[in-house]
Amino acid sequence: MRCDVNQALLQDFNIGSLKSELVSTTGFRYIPDFKVLVMATLNYEQRQFFDEQGYLLVEDAVSVEQLAALREQFAAWVEESKSHQVAYGETLDGRARFDLESGHSADRPMLRRVNAPTEISNDYYQVMRDSLMTDCVADLIGPNLKFHHSKINSKLPGAATAVKWHQDFPFTPHSNDDLVTALLMVDEVTEENGPLQVLPESHRGEIYDLWHDGIFTGAVDDAVTRQCLDNAVTCTGKAGSVCLMHTRLLHGSSPNLSTRPRTLFIAVYSAEDAVPCTPNPVPSQHQGEIVRGVKTNHIRSCAFNIPSPQLPRTASFFDQQAQ
């Protein structure tokens, strides 16, 4: 099954229909605590779709200029990677910033992960903080929105890396589950170049254990994987589109079998009152920045019971999933 991208729409404001709920059907959000009206980027149908299905695809989530800058920067990193044979660079916790897939060479570069790109690129930082993508996330879990971490996952042509089925929440548990993973398509994503696949409505179900036989595999077991594959929706879209995904949604992706790259800029956001329960697997100097709204100094919790994740010891969780 294929899911087509939806265009983000604005609806006309009708003061006569405004009620005091947090999200109205008029395209505006009413925030009682501050007695203000904030224009919503997503319409009622889009917000409802995300709530029911656990994901939402939106076109043109960044400007043409922003997209061009992201593509140019990543191309420069790919060129730089040609002079390296192993993972290189350093992040806050001492792990490598740039992760290379097996078989990487100057003639056939296989840069597959950049950790915390917002720290080393102002273009990626500005898109994380100030883009339509950020506004869309705020519509879903705002109005007060906090940044958690970012990374780039890339599948260059012929890349063999697959992402096994998992949920994000067991990697980054918080006091509540109002977290959104925004997967911005830096390249066009097709059915052939390793697109994201999701299991609709799975965010409303079980939080699955990613530990198996005492090993943190970063993936669900085979029986759950088969269920996911039988009912998966494939998320494709033009460059500049974003898939907004609930932190508990089951998802995965296959290798890139095409001659075209598939690069995603992934930014993870939480509601401001969601507090991390474990260390950040992709630590960043920008963690905790309020990107929309204000800091309330409140903690909101919901009930869940899951094992603590194991922090990655290498450049990315791909090595955990390879176990």
Buried b (16+ CB within 10 A) or exposed e, 43-66: beebbebbeebbbbbbbbbbeeeb
Average pLDDT over residues 293-305: 96
User: Is 14's pLDDT higher than 60?
Assistant: no
Give the per-residue pLDDT at 158.
Answer: 85
Give the per-residue pLDDT at 28.
Answer: 44
Q: Which helix (H) or strand (E) holds 252?
A: strand 251-253
Contact 239, 188 (CB under 8 A): yes
Identify the band that residue 312 occupies on the pLDDT scale cut at 50, 70 and 90.
confident
Q: Which domains does the chain have, with CATH numbers?
A: 2-7+43-321 (2.60.120.620)
Identify the band that residue 124 occupies on the pLDDT scale cut at 50, 70 and 90.
very high
User: Is 85's pLDDT higher than 70?
Assistant: yes
Identify the band that residue 9 occupies on the pLDDT scale cut at 50, 70 and 90.
very low
Give the per-residue pLDDT at 316.
Answer: 72
Identify the band that residue 234 occupies on the pLDDT scale cut at 50, 70 and 90.
very high
Contacts with 78 (C-beta within 8 Å, 6 or more apart), sequence order? 109, 111, 156
Distance (Å) of CA 36 to CA 18, 27, 172, 232: 12, 14, 32, 40
5 or 149, which is more confident = 149
Question: Which one, of 165, 161, 244, lies nearest residue 208 by Cα?
Answer: 165
Give the per-residue pLDDT at 265.
Answer: 98
257 or 121, which is more confident = 121
Average pLDDT over residues 174-199: 97
Cα–Cα–Cα angle for 276, 279, 285, rounded to 5 degrees: 90
Give the per-residue pLDDT at 147.
Answer: 98
Average pLDDT over residues 277-302: 97
User: Is 292's pLDDT higher than 50?
Assistant: yes
User: Is 38's pLDDT higher than 60?
Assistant: no
11 or 120, which is more confident = 120
Give the per-residue pLDDT at 24.
Answer: 38
Mean pLDDT, rounded, of the chain: 88
Phi, psi of 40 (to 5 degrees): -85, 140
